[in-house]
């Protein structure tokens, strides 16, 4: 067993956002899509898993180890989290910004192995051209790719990506999802990505978890989840699940009459 | 220019960038040494640099008179210029990173104004916040109020919903409060006391002493390793708070730790020489343009540039009119600000590389 969550609760101040979240074992090398409307608790779930906000109840197990109350610094070595917000005006190059992500967990001195890790990650994500560019000069999509690189370079066991494709055009959406999928095959981490695009989720994920109002509504293969009537109810639309000639599922959605 | 996009090419590009940074740091260090020795050899009595260097190596080599001039007058001033320049610039650099605002520095956050008020309190009322300090009354009061202001800033950053713009507004509020209090002190003061207050506020290196230098050096020797240990989290903070937190940085704690460290540096520098604006702004700014914001290079270079600027200021203050030493606060503003603006305008579009 790899990552499993039982009866997890979390929130901010007096407000409980997540209550009784249980996610049965997610195996190594799984690519899980977390779907649900805005304010359904996706980001809160990620922050709780990453240790940025404390769990108010329940447990998180990673490889048979209870990490629910593990210190944030230690946990950040094992659980990589890419937050939604991005964009800054720092005078740092793309290479440096990925290097600094790596150096949070690997000691003070920059070794040649560190430089290898950074340049390999940049190459794998197709960011080599931008390596020496200032991060303040990047487009929104490029900045998002860099944020993904910052997460992947640390080779964590669990990778949490909060809307990795939200600022990207079609080409870059497919390219980043493919890169993540390749990473999953190479290093076998657990990947959970919060996605708004159900078709992208259908195309790349092995498993989908539907979140609404801080509760898990459904958990299963894309085929079963996307065919459920709950999808339409949750997003307040009408949906049909279709299948293309290539055998890929897609959700045909329209506003309810 | 073609870009080598292989992993080896990227590594090579980064390595040569790092090399360029070491060259820049060495260059500024060399300039600082030159400026320092020129500063020591300049003054009312004209002695050749070689003579000064002799006295430097062997105090008594040219008699007692030269020993006193070099070791008791000129050296403390020259060393204080370097030390205070470095302290102010490091404090500015770290404040800017922590508050995510390039305008943050001891002067803009009201620390200097608070120190001036503390000094005036000692000059006018003879009031001491720390009992029994004797001759260091003015300095101690200035230090206390500077530290108090830093404490305010620290508290303000802990408040929810206080962004980096709010912090600068907060600094301006502090600045005006202490300016008003200072004006009140001046209103109550005698002519002689007003002259002393004004002289204190304009910033002067003539209050230099080996005791102060020892204290400043001690502080810097604690602050440098302290911030070096936090270079990577501080660099991460430049990516924004959310990203830094996601990378495992405890941002709240980092802010408090660094602000305490910075407060000591800023309060010390300001209480030693009075109001010297602009060094905490220009040092980090030039350093940022030269080496970017990897804190391993940015912080040391900020210190070096700050030291160089104040050392040059000290030199200029003595050479404009022979025999007269102008207050350094006036020089830094009059000469520094136009230089600063021209730097901003000429290099704004050029980024790293």
At residue B351, the pLDDT reads 46
Cα angle: B302, vertex B303, B304; to 5 degrees: 90
C-alpha–C-alpha distance, residues B65 and B47, integer Å: 12
Top-ranked range on mean pLDDT: pick from A172-176, A184-188, B229-233: B229-233
User: Residue range B320-344: average pLDDT?
Assistant: 79
Chain A contact for B2 (CB, 8 A cutoff):
no
Beta strands in chain A (DSSP E): 3-12, 15-26, 31-35, 57-62, 65-66, 79-82, 158-162, 190-194, 207-212, 215-220, 237-243, 249-255
Q: Are B240 and A77 a contacting pair at CB < 8 A?
A: no
At residue B94, the pLDDT reads 93
User: Residue range B264-289: average pLDDT?
Assistant: 87
- In B253-292, the residues whose Cβ lies within 8 Å of chain A are 288-289, 292
| Residues A176-189: tens digit of each pLDDT | 899 888 888 888 99
Count CB pairs under 8 A between chains A and B: 131
The average confidence (pLDDT) of chain B is 86
Question: pLDDT grade, residue B153 (50/70/90)?
Answer: confident
Asked whether the predicted pLDDT for residue A256 surpasses 80, the reply is: no
B44 against A70, higher pLDDT: A70
Residue A16 and residue A214 in contact, taking contact as beta carbons nearer than 8 Å = yes
C-alpha–C-alpha distance, residues A158 and A51, integer Å: 13
Q: Are B246 and A96 a contacting pair at CB < 8 A?
A: no
User: Residue range B108-113: average pLDDT?
Assistant: 85
* Residue closest to B307 by CA, chosen among B104, B81, B90, B40: B81
At residue B205, the pLDDT reads 85
**Chain B contacts of A75, Cβ < 8 Å?**
248
Chain B contact for A100 (CB, 8 A cutoff):
yes
Provide the sign of the torsion angle of the four alpha carbons A211, A217, A223, A228, taken in this order: negative
Say which residues have a Cβ less than 8 Å from residue B310's Cβ, sequence separation at least 6: B81, B82, B84, B85, B88, B276, B279, B328, B332
C-alpha–C-alpha distance, residues B274 and B267, integer Å: 10
User: Residue range A34-49: average pLDDT?
Assistant: 92
What burial class does residue B4 get, using C-beta atoms within 10 Å of its C-beta: 0-12 exposed, 13-18 middle, 19+ buried? middle
B201 against B345, higher pLDDT: B201
- How would you label B249-281 residue by residue, b for 16+ Cβ within 10 Å and e otherwise? bbbeebbebbbebbbbbbbbbbbbbbbbbbbbb
Q: Is the ipTM of this complex over 0.85?
A: yes
Say which residues have a Cβ less than 8 Å from residue B348's Cβ, sequence separation at least 6: none
| Residues A192-248: tens digit of each pLDDT | 999 999 989 988 999 999 999 999 999 999 888 888 888 888 888 888 888 888 878
C-alpha–C-alpha distance, residues B250 and B237, integer Å: 10
Nearest-CA residue of chain A relative to B298?
A: A91
Question: pLDDT grade, residue B72 (50/70/90)?
Answer: confident
CA distance B106 to chain A (A): 21
C-alpha–C-alpha distance, residues A176 and B302, integer Å: 38
Direct distance between the N- and C-terminal alpha carbons of chain B, in angstroms, rounded to an integer: 12
Nearest-CA residue of chain B relative to A136?
A: B351
CA distance B18 to chain A (A): 11
CA distance B251 to chain A (A): 11
C-alpha–C-alpha distance, residues B196 and B327, integer Å: 13
Domains assigned to chain A: 3-255 (3.40.50.300)
Alpha carbon B286 to its chain centroid, in Å, reads 13
Domains assigned to chain B: 7-347 (1.10.3470.10)
* Residue closest to A201 by CA, chosen among A33, A29, A30, A40: A33
Chain A contact for B238 (CB, 8 A cutoff):
yes
Asked whether the predicted pLDDT for residue A20 surpasses 50, the reply is: yes
Chain A contact for B60 (CB, 8 A cutoff):
no
Chain A contact for B14 (CB, 8 A cutoff):
yes
At residue B310, the pLDDT reads 94
Helix (H) or strand (E) holding B345, with range, is: helix B337-347
Chain B contact for A111 (CB, 8 A cutoff):
no
Asked whether the predicted pLDDT for residue B57 surpasses 60, the reply is: yes
What burial class does residue A81 get, using C-beta atoms within 10 Å of its C-beta: 0-12 exposed, 13-18 middle, 19+ buried? buried
* Residue closest to A65 by CA, chosen among A4, A24, A6, A19: A4
C-alpha–C-alpha distance, residues B188 and B197, integer Å: 12
Nearest-CA residue of chain B relative to A151?
A: B247
What is chain B's alpha carbon radius of gyration, rounded to the nearest angstrom?
Answer: 21
| Residues B112-150: tens digit of each pLDDT | 889 889 888 888 887 777 665 666 788 888 888 988 988
Q: Are B231 and A108 a contacting pair at CB < 8 A?
A: yes
Q: Are A92 and B247 a contacting pair at CB < 8 A?
A: no
> Residue B305, Cβ neighbours under 10 Å: how many?
27
Question: 């030390």: which residue's tokens?
Answer: B83
| Residues B178-200: tens digit of each pLDDT | 999 999 998 999 999 998 888 88
Lowest mean pLDDT among B193-197, B202-206, B300-304: B202-206
DSSP β-bridge partners for residue A61: A4, A66
User: Residue range B314-339: average pLDDT?
Assistant: 82
C-alpha–C-alpha distance, residues B152 and B173, integer Å: 11
The average confidence (pLDDT) of chain A is 89
At residue B353, the pLDDT reads 40
CA distance A136 to chain B (A): 9
**Closest in A83, A122, A134 to B242, CB measured:** A83
Three-class secondary structure of residue A6 per DSSP: strand
C-alpha–C-alpha distance, residues B60 and B47, integer Å: 15
> Residue A212, Cβ neighbours under 10 Å: how many?
18
Asked whether the predicted pLDDT for residue B64 surpasses 70, the reply is: yes
Q: Per residue, what are the HEC states of B211-246?
A: HHHHHHHHHHHHHHHHHHCCHHHHHHHCCCHHHHHH
At residue B22, the pLDDT reads 97
């Amino acid at each position: 067993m790899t990552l499993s969550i039982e009866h997890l609760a979390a929130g901010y101040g007096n407000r409980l956002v997540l209550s009784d979240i249980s996610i049965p074992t997610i195996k190594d090398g799984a690519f899980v899509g977390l779907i649900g409307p805005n304010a359904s608790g996706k980001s809160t779930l990620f922050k709780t898993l990453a240790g940025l906000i404390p769990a108010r109840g329940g447990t998180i197990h990673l490889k048979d180890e209870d990490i629910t109350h593990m210190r944030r610094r230690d946990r950040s070595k094992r659980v990589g989290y890419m937050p939604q917000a991005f964009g800054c005006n720092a005078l740092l190059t793309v290479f440096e910004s990925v290097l600094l992500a790596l150096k949070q967990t690997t000691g003070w001195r920059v070794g040649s192995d560190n430089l290898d890790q950074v340049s390999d990650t940049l190459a794998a994500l197709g960011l080599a051209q931008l390596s020496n560019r200032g991060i303040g000069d990047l487009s929104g999509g490029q900045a998002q790719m860099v944020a993904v690189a910052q997460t992947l370079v640390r080779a964590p066991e669990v990778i949490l990506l909060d809307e990795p494709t939200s600022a990207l055009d079609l080409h870059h959406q497919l390219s980043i999802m493919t890169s993540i999928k390749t990473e999953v095959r190479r290093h076998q981490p657990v990947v959970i990505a919060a996605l708004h695009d159900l078709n992208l989720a259908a195309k790349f994920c092995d498993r989908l978890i539907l979140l609404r109002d801080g509760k898990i509504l459904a958990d299963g293969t894309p085929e079963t989840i996307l065919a459920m009537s709950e999808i339409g109810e949750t997003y307040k639309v009408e949906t049909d699940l279709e299948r293309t000639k290539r055998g890929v599922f897609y959700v045909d959605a329209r506003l309810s009459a | 220019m073609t870009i080598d996009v292989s992993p080896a090419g990227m590594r090579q590009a980064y390595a040569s960038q790092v090399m360029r940074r070491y060259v820049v740091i060495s260059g500024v260090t060399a300039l600082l040494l030159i400026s320092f020795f020129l500063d020591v050899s300049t003054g009312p009595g004209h002695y050749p640099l070689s003579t000064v260097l002799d006295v430097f190596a062997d105090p008594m080599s040219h008699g007692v008179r030269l020993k006193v001039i070099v070791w008791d007058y000129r050296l403390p001033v020259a060393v204080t210029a370097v030390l205070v320049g470095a302290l102010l610039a490091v404090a500015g650099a770290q404040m800017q990173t922590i508050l995510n605002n390039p305008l943050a520095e001891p002067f803009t956050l009201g620390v200097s104004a608070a120190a001036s008020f503390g000094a005036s309190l000692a000059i006018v009322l003879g009031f001491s916040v720390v009992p029994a300090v004797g001759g260091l009354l003015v300095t101690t009061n200035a230090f206390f109020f500077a530290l108090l202001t830093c404490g305010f800033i620290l508290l303000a950053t802990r408040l929810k919903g206080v962004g980096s713009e709010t912090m600068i507004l907060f600094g301006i509020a502090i600045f005006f409060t202490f300016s008003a209090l200072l004006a009140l002190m001046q209103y109550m003061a005698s002519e002689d006391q007003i002259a002393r207050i004004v002289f204190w506020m304009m910033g002067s290196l003539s209050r230099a002493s080996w005791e102060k230098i020892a204290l400043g050096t001690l502080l810097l020797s604690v602050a440098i390793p302290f911030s070096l240990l936090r270079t990577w989290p501080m660099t991460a903070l430049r990516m924004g708070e959310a990203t830094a937190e996601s990378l495992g940085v405890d941002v709240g704690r980092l802010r408090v730790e660094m602000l305490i460290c910075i407060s000591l540096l800023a309060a010390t520098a300001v209480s030693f020489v009075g109001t010297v604006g602009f060094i905490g702004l220009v040092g980090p700014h030039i350093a940022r343009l030269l080496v970017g914001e990897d804190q391993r290079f940015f912080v040391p270079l900020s210190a070096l540039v700050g030291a160089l600027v104040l050392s040059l200021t000290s030199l200029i203050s003595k050479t404009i009119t022979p025999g007269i030493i102008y207050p350094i606060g006036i020089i830094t503003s009059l000469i520094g600000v136009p230089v600063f603006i021209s730097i901003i305008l000429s290099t704004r579009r050029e980024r790293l590389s």
